[in-house]
Structures are given as C-alpha cells and as structure tokens.
Amino acid sequence: MISKPHDTAARHTGEVLLDIRDLVVEVDNSGAWQPIVKGISLSLRRGEVLGLIGESGAGKSTLGLAALGFTRPGCRIARGSVSFNGIDLLRESEAARRQIRGTRIAYVAQSAATSFNPAHRIIDQTIECAMRLGGLTRQQAIAQAKALYAEMQLPNPNEIGDRYPHQVSGGQLQRAMTAMAMICKPDLIVFDEPTTALDVTTQVEVLASVRRIVTDHHTAALYITHDLAVVAQLAHRIMVLRHGELVEEAETGRMLADPREAYTRSLWTVRNLEKPEEAPTQPILKVSHVDAHYGDFKVLEDICLDLPRGRTLAVVGESGSGKSTLARVIAGLLPATSGTISLNGAALASSLKQRAAGQLRGIQMIYQSADAALNPRHTVMDLVGRPVTLHTGLKGHACARRVVELLEMVELSEHHITSFPSELSGGQKQRVSIARAIAADPEVFICDEITSGLDQLVQEQILKLMLNLQKELDKTYMFITHDIATVNAIADNVVVMQRGRIVQQGPKHELLSSPTHPYTKALLAAVPQMDPHWLDGVLNDSTARLRRQEALRQSALV
Amino acid sequence: MGSGFVTLFIVSLIIFAAIAVLPGDFAKVALGRSATPETVANFQRSLGLDRPVTERYVSWIGGALKGDLGLSFSSGSGTPRTVNGIIGPRLKNTLFLAALAALISVPVALLFGIIAAIRRNSWLDRSLNALTLVGISFPEFFVAYVLMLLLAVKLPIFYSLARITPGMGVVEIAERLALPVATLCFGIIAHMMRMTRAAIINLLSSPYIEMAKLKGTAPWIIILRHALPNAWAPISAVIAFNLAYLIVGVVVVEVVFVYPGIGQAMVDAVRSRDIPVVQGCALIFATAYILLNLLADVIAIATNPRLAHPR
C-alpha cells in the first residue's frame, strides 16, 4: 500500500523550486486598491507538499494563482517576487509565463464541473497543453493521457476521454483534471480545494489518487483547502493563513500535535461540537411509505420516518441520495406519488396548493445558499417583514419591532434592518434566512445543508445559534447534511439515505458507534480524521476497498 | 419543428384576418367612383369576393400548401396573372440581393466581433464599437442617400439605380448592386458584430476560460477554441434574425434604389389593393422568418454538447 511520502531527506536537501517573497496582491474595490495578500513569503522544495489552510477571504487561492504568476481580473500584484526555478515570473513577459504554465507549473481547480470546457471532449482538453507546449504528437499525448487516467484509477481509462464533461461524475472529472495537470510532468501543481465540492466517499478516492500521483512522480504541490483533516493526509508542511497574513507555519506532525496560535487552535476545536442526545418525545411529523417520482424516474422509495417534537433529525447521504428531494416532498414542493405525511396528527395534502395556510406556516425551509434564497434587491426589513405581515398580520411599526426582535434572536442587530444581502457576510445572510423562517413561527424547520457553504468557524456559530433557538423556542428540526461533524453537533436521531431509500435510521449514538449497514460504515469511514495516517487506514480497510470497487463498477455502468 | 408549422398556421390566419378587416375595396378602386353597386357586385363575384371568409381562407391556404398562391386581382378576363408569376421573379431578385449582402456581412461581422473580443478595450475595439454604433443609429434611407451622394453623384463610381436585366454579366451586376448591398451590410454588420463580441466576452469570466489561461493557452486560442464554440447559440440567433431582416425588411432599400424586389412588389400591391399578392408576400415573409429562426434553433441544439451528446 502507498504510504505517506516521509522522505524527509529529499525535502531538506532538495533545491528550492518555488520562492515567493513578501508578496502583496491588491484587489480593485471601486477605484481603491485593497490588499488581499499582505506580504506573504513561502518556499517550496522539489517534491515537497505544502498545505495552505484558512477560511474564505484568507487569500489562499490568490496566493496559489500567484505561484503561476497569475492574478484574477481586477487584481494586481503590488509588491514582492515569485521565483520559480530561479526565474522571476513577475519580471518575465506574458508569453514567457505562458510557456511555463501548464508545462512546468500546473493548476487543479476547485470545481472540475465548471473548469472543464463543456464544448470539448475530455481527452482533447487533457492533451491540449501537451501538444501545443509539450511538443508531443497527438498519438503520444493520447497514449500518455490514457496512462494517467489509469493511474488516477478512472474507470475505462481508454474510453473515458472520449466523453464530454457533462457525461462523467464530479469525482471522475476532478481526477481527470489532475491527469490533465500531470500530462506535461510539471515540477509543481497547485491544487485549489480539489475535493471541496465532492462527497466524503468520493473525496477519499480523489485524495488517494492525488497523493499517489504526487508521490510517484515526485511532484511538488501547493495544496489549498479549508479542511485541516484533508491537508493533514497530504502535506509535509502546513501554513495557516488569515486575512491575507500568515498565522502559523510548521511541519504537519508538529502542527497537529502542538498548534501555537489561538486561531489555529480554534480551527482544531471547531469540529468537536457535540449535542448530548435527549430523551425521545412524541412525533410531530410522520412520514410513512412515501414514494416520489421525477417524471417516470423514482427518486424516493418507501420513506418512513418520524420527527420527534423539539428534537433534531439529521438526514445524511451523498449528493443524489434524495435528501433534498425528501425535504421538497415534505414541504409539498414535489407532490408525493404515494404514502402519507402528517403534521400534528393531521394528514397533509401532497401538493402545496391544497394545504391550509396554517399547515404551510407550520413547515419552513432554510436553504443552503442564502445568496440564492434572498432577493438581492430587498432589504432585510423587506425580507423578514414580509412573512411577519403574511403570517401575523402585523404592519408598520409593530412589524418593524417584530423584525428587530427576530434579528436579535439570530444575533444580528437593529442596524442591519436597512442592509441589502450584498452588504452582509455569508454567515449574516444565513442568519437573515433563519430569522425569516422563524418569522412564520413554524413547528418544523427543514434545514437543507444550511452550513455547508460557510467557513468552519461560522458554521460553528450557526450551529450553536440553531441549538439555542431550539432550546428557547422548543422547535423541531430536520437537518439535511452530508457532514458527519454537523450530525454530531446537532442531531438526536439520524437517517442515512442512499439512492432514494433509507438504509439505516436510529438514535445518533447508536448509529454512529455501531453502523450496521455497509453504506453507513463506508460513509463514516470516509470522514477525514485529524490523524495524518487516517487515509492509509481507510485505504487498507477492506470494507472501504470493497465499497470503492463497487463504486467503480457502478460508474463504469453509467 | 412542429412549433414552426403551428406558428406559420397562426400567422397565415392573422394575415388573412387582418387583410379581411382592412378598409378599402379592390372592386371599388378598380372600377372608379362612377361604378354602380350592380357592377361592383358583379366584379366581386368574378373575383370570388362574395364567398364567406372561411371558405376563401380554406381555398387560399389549401392552394398555398401546394405552392399556388392564387390569381392576382389584376388578371384580365382572358389573361390570368398568377400571384406566383408576379412574386416569383421579384422574390428571386430579393433573395439574390439578400444572399450577396449575407455573404459579405456575416463573415465580416464574425471576424470583426472576434477581433473586438480578442482586443477588447483596445483602441481597435473602441473604434469598431463607435463605428458600428453609428451604423445602427442612422436610418437606412439616410445611409442609402449618403452613399448615393458620395459614390454615385460626387464620385460616379457606382450606379444610383439598381436596375438589373437578365443579360448582364457578373461584374456589371456587382457594380449595379454595390450601393444597396453596402447599405444593407452597414446596418446588419453592426448588429451581428456587437452580439458576437458580447456573446464571447460574456463567457470570458467562466472558470473554464481561467483554466485555459492557467494551461498557458494564448489569448486568441482561448477565444477561438474555448469561448467561440460555446457562443454559437446566441450568435446564430442574431444572424438568423438579421438574415430574415434582409428578406423581410429591405423595402426601404429597394424603394430608394428602385430595385425590383419583393418589397417593392408588396408596396405596389398594397397601393392597388391587390389582396392575393399582399397575402402571398406576407406569407413568404413569415415563412422566411420562421425557417431562419428554426435554423438558428437547430444550430443552437447541434452546438450544445449536452443536447448533442446526452449522458
């Protein structure tokens, strides 16, 4: 089995490949240049993997792109130097930089689904750079691409390149993108959150492939992520960034065992939030034997679950497992084709239009993306005031007072009332969404991945807020998530879904400590742990390997 | 495809209904003020105008489906003139003029649009933009008369009248048609070029374009290989729109240059209240419009890999 590249000798004696000195990158904020990277220096030796970690806005991606001598439109490098192999990239001509990009330094983007051109076959995009700058013939390049696909353990490496990007899964595309980065055998690859958009079970596959290929080819890498557990599996050294500045830098082992800075420690503790399980209560919402279809395609099959009053039910599963569809069916947005749903003992009509006003008020949704769920042209007053007026009939000053009360409940203050969503941070926007849901005074909140778009520290704050609200208002939550740490933090009961069915359900501790269904086991095993040897363990674990083979077989069938 | 036919059917109904409710009576105009009610009625009977509207529509659309647009009201008793006979040569002339204008304007517009997108915000892009804005802003008859004044009157290089006869050679035809073609191109190049530029630039903030840059791809390859293939849908829509305009909207240009095209034929027919010819022209315009837009849809589907290569 592949083991972590602990060839310390090479790392200490190898020549310096990338040397960034006092780099300042500024962004154009309507005329004024504001620094987003504030004088960071780093150096990377041949074959070394450096992890860059931090929240959004820390400047990690900007720094990663600067390693290629590249800045996004609207940004500029104000000071500093980026020297690669002794060449100062910032002093070279654009044409000279182009010669280096893709051949000597390659880039793997966060979202392969949008970073592949939809108009061309995967193989043509993979070999593009090798043919133009690498001096290979088409046949040579294709042969090499296929070898790399096989190395990345893509199914059908000989044929998969002939597909268009939309015809393969997200995990496969992410691996194809890594193959594309490797095609010219670069000295350095910048990985920009390559597994963030993936399910945990897929993430393990991609992580393993990335680590194998980087080790085997002795390629240096900058690995950018916000997930410490992920970077711990790959990096020799970790740099923690915040607000464009370096917080702490250390060897991985030392960093994990003994973080020095308070901010670094806070990143560590975040994932340890845990809700004590509470005594069961009477169910407020009952779902029995529900099926649902998209056209002729069955998306939910025989769903039975209870939501106990004042408790949290977590629904977990990977994307496409039917979690969000279940939420839509309960809310009445997608009528169930059979089965019954009842709220407080009264049966709910399957379609939204046939439900009584009180029943509609009783179930409120909070969505993953507050950006998409909040109308950008409405102020917070409009956004929260409208459901207040609709459900309580309050108008004018009374309504404004109620809005302020609601904002205080979600720990926002009165002066946010005139703000537009664009003036708020991600966490604040999600708080407005929560306030809007409370405005209707519902009995059940359906929370669809409400923390997954947020930084870890903000996630923790939102989860704590939801816990407090539950205690104060005695509300019932259905919490859809793919993240086991979130389950730990908030759930009393858990439902595990796969391909539209419930494969296992039960009280949280029972389910997490003794998963019975193989899929639940695979899901729990795939959650990255803060242990640098976790990935080795997973890869050696026979059940996980079986699951991987099964996944490969299935994707080959698609 | 089906929706195209349905649209065409509805359009034919509207054409027929609109002309049926229009004031003005061919019989009265033809026979003059002094005609008695009896002669008018007789005349109407001979033209079939006394039959109920629905019956007239059915026989008209039935004929149109077989390619026969009926008889013109200008037919004499012994000399029947078919609508096809009147419109046919005119349509050929219009299509010829439109084809010439399209052959020049579409490649030029695409080329300029792509160049403007590659060199966006350069002086070249700015001047192309300014020039085309001028092109869109001026009414066609104004452009036509200015061109005529400059290139036919002051500098007599080209002809101010676009009269062509069957025996003319290619060079002569080209000389005669140079000004109307130039006038038509002036307006539509501007429109198509600006849309091409916008459609391409719209895509340049896509993550896959950034990826292409990070693979060391040269700017012009990024535009041609990575942006353009994804921009065909909006570009083909605007090209179809402009080609349809070449057939449907050339009336002004035809009148200014006295070109014997279908637009002129329609104007003449309206003046003499020759309803079958007006209807025939309107139907041909609608068909051209719908066919070209259908073609644009087909291109949009064919160039969308999600539709052309389903999972």
The string of pLDDT tens digits covering residues B110-167 is: 999 999 988 888 899 999 888 888 878 888 888 888 888 888 888 777 777 777 777 7
| Domain assignment of residue A526, yes or no | no
Residue A249 lies in a domain: yes
pLDDT for res A2? 40
Check residue A106 and give its pLDDT: 93
- Domain housing B139: 91-271
Residue A224 and residue A156 in one domain: yes
**B283 part of a folded domain:** no
Inter-chain residue contact A100 with B216, CB threshold 8 Å: yes
The shortest C-alpha distance from A328 to chain B (Å) reads 25
Closest to B266 in 3D by CA, of B144, B93, B139:
B93
Residue A16 lies in a domain: yes
Tell me if chain A has a CB within 8 Å of the CB of B220.
no
Cβ neighbours, 10 Å, residue A100: 21
Do A314 and A459 fall within a single domain?
Answer: yes
Q: Which domain holds residue A222?
A: 8-272
Query: Other C-beta atoms within 10 Å of A172: how many?
Result: 27
- Could A167 and B309 be called an inter-chain contact, meaning their C-beta atoms sit closer than 8 Å? yes
Do B6 and B40 share a domain, yes or no? yes
Same domain, B95 and B238: yes
Query: Considering the domain boundaries, does residue A536 fall inside one?
Result: no
B30-54 burial by CB neighbour count: b if 16+ within 10 A, else e? beeeebeeeebeebbeebebeeeee
Q: Where are the beta strands (DSSP E) in A144-219?
A: 188-192
Contact A166 B216 (CB under 8 A): no
A113 Cα distance to chain centroid = 14
Decide if B216 touches A, using CB distance below 8 A: yes
Query: Å from B301 to nearest chain A CA?
Result: 12
How is residue B174 written in tokens?
């080209």
CB contact under 8 A, B311 and A133: no
A159, A487, A509 from A512: Cα distances, Å: 40, 10, 5
Name the amino acid, one letter, at A493: N
How far is the C-alpha of B212 from the C-alpha of A125, rounded, in Å? Answer: 9
**Amino acid letter for position A251:** E
Residue type (1 letter), A318: E
A442 and A315 within one domain: yes
**Binning pLDDT at 50, 70 and 90, where does residue B26 land?**
low
Tell whether B69 and B113 lie within a shared domain.
no
| B306 located within any domain | no
Residue A238: strand pairing partners: A51, A250
Quote the strand ranges of A499-538, DSSP E. 501-507
Per mean pLDDT, which range of A236-240, A308-312, B83-87, B222-226 is the poorest? B83-87
Residues A188 and A287 in one domain: no
Q: For residues B16 and B157, state if they share a domain.
A: no
Q: Could you list the pLDDT tens digit for every one of the 558 residues in chain A?
A: 344 444 444 455 678 899 999 999 998 878 889 899 999 999 999 889 999 998 877 888 899 999 999 998 888 999 999 999 888 999 989 899 998 998 899 999 988 888 999 999 999 999 998 888 777 889 999 999 999 998 888 888 998 999 999 888 888 888 899 999 989 889 999 999 888 777 787 788 888 888 888 888 889 999 998 888 888 888 999 999 998 899 999 998 888 888 888 888 887 766 677 888 788 888 899 999 999 988 888 889 999 999 999 999 999 988 778 888 899 999 988 889 999 999 988 888 888 888 888 888 899 999 988 888 899 899 999 999 999 998 888 888 999 999 999 999 898 888 888 989 888 888 899 999 999 999 988 999 999 988 887 877 888 888 999 999 998 888 999 999 888 888 888 899 999 998 889 999 999 888 888 888 888 888 888 888 777 788 887 777 645 555 555 555 555 444
User: Is residue B301 included in any domain, yes or no?
Assistant: no
**Amino acid B63: pLDDT:** 78
In Å, how far is A121's CA from the nearest CA of chain B?
9
- Is A159 inside a domain boundary? yes
| SS3 letters across chain B | CHHHHHHHHHHHHHHHHHHHHCCCCHHHHHHCCCCCHHHHHHHHHHHCCCCCHHHHHHHHHHHHHCCCCCECCCCCCCCCCEHHHHHHHHHHHHHHHHHHHHHHHHHHHHHHHHHHHHCCCCHHHHHHHHHHHHHHHCCHHHHHHHHHHHHHHHCCCCCCCCCCCCCCCHHHHHHHHHHHHHHHHHHHHHHHHHHHHHHHHHHCCCHHHHHHHHCCCCHHHHHHHHHHHHHHHHHHHHHHHHHHHHHHCCHHHHHHCCCCCHHHHHHHHHHCCCHHHHHHHHHHHHHHHHHHHHHHHHHHHHCCHHHHCCC
Q: Which residues contact B20 (CB under 8 A, 6 or more apart)?
A: B53
Kindly state whether residues B64 and B173 are assigned to the same domain: no
Taking the C-alpha atoms of residue B288 and residue B293, their distance in angstroms, rounded to an integer, is: 9
**Based on the domain organization, do A162 and A298 belong to the same domain?**
no
| A contact set with B (CB within 8 A) | 65, 68, 70, 72-73, 97-103, 106-107, 109, 111, 114-120, 128-129, 132-133, 163-164, 166-167, 180, 558
pLDDT at A43: 92
The number of beta carbons lying within 10 Å of the beta carbon of residue A465 is 17
pTM score of the predicted model? 0.78
With contacts defined as CB-CB under 8 Å, which chain A residues touch B218? 98
Query: Looking at the predicted structure, is the pLDDT value of residue B76 above 80?
Result: no
* Number of domains into which chain A is organized: 2
Q: What is the pLDDT of residue B27?
A: 67
User: What DSSP state is assigned to residue A58?
Assistant: S
Q: Would you call B216 and A73 a contact, using CB atoms and an 8 Å cutoff? A: no
DSSP letter string over A324-358?
Answer: HHHHHHHHTSS--SEEEEEETTEEPPSSGGGS-HH
CB B207 within 8 A of CB A114: yes
The closest of A367, A372, A373, A369 to A324, measured between CA atoms, is A367
Asked if A258 and A290 sit in the same domain, the reply is no
Q: Is the pLDDT confidence value at B106 over 50?
A: yes
Residue A149 in domain: yes
Phi-psi category of residue A313: left, alpha or beta, with phi > 0 → left and psi -120 to 50 → alpha: beta
> What is the distance between the alpha carbons of residues B275 and B179, in angstroms, rounded to a whole number?
32
Q: Which of A14-18, A62-66, B97-101, B306-310 has the lowest mean pLDDT?
A: B306-310
Last residue of a domain, one of B79, B99, B131: B79
| Residue B280: inside a domain | no
Residues A234 and A363 in one domain: no
B207 to A99: CB separation less than 8 angstroms, yes or no: no
Shortest Cα distance, chain B CAs vs residue A188, angstroms: 13
Is B129 found in the same domain as B107? yes
* CA dihedral over A524, A526, A529, A535, signed as positive or negative: positive
Based on the fold, state whether residues B125 and B227 are members of the same structural domain.
yes
Q: Which domain-ending residue is among B50, B79, B108?
A: B79
pLDDT of residue B148: 84
CATH number of the domain that residue A125 is part of: 3.40.50.300
CA gap A253, A430 in Å, rounded: 35
Alpha-carbon gap: B236 to the closest alpha carbon of chain A (Å): 16
B202 at interface of A, judged by CB pairs closer than 8 A: no
B144 and B20, same domain (yes or no): no
Q: Are B105 and B225 found together in one domain?
A: yes
Claim to verify: residue B248 and residue B103 sit in the same structural domain: yes
Q: How many domains is chain B built from?
A: 2
Inspect the interface and report whether the beta carbons of B309 and A118 lie closer than 8 Å.
no
pLDDT more than 90, % of chain B: 12
Same domain, yes or no, for A123 and A78? yes
Inter-chain CB proximity B229 and A119 less than 8 Å: yes
Which residue did the predictor score with more confidence, B38 or A548? B38
Helices (H), A378-455: 380-392, 396-409, 426-439
Which of residues B79, B109, B138 is at a domain's end? Answer: B79
CA angle B31, B34, B40 (to 5 degrees): 45
CB contact under 8 A, B305 and A114: no
How far off is chain B from A120, nearest CA to CA, in Å?
A: 8
Looking at residue B238, which CATH number applies to its domain?
1.10.3720.10
The two tokens of residue A525 are 């095993």
Cα A344 from Cα A307, distance rounded (Å): 10
Q: Which residues from chain B sit within 8 angstroms of residue A65, using beta carbons?
A: 214
| Closest C-alpha among A122, A10, A4, A20 to residue A65 | A20
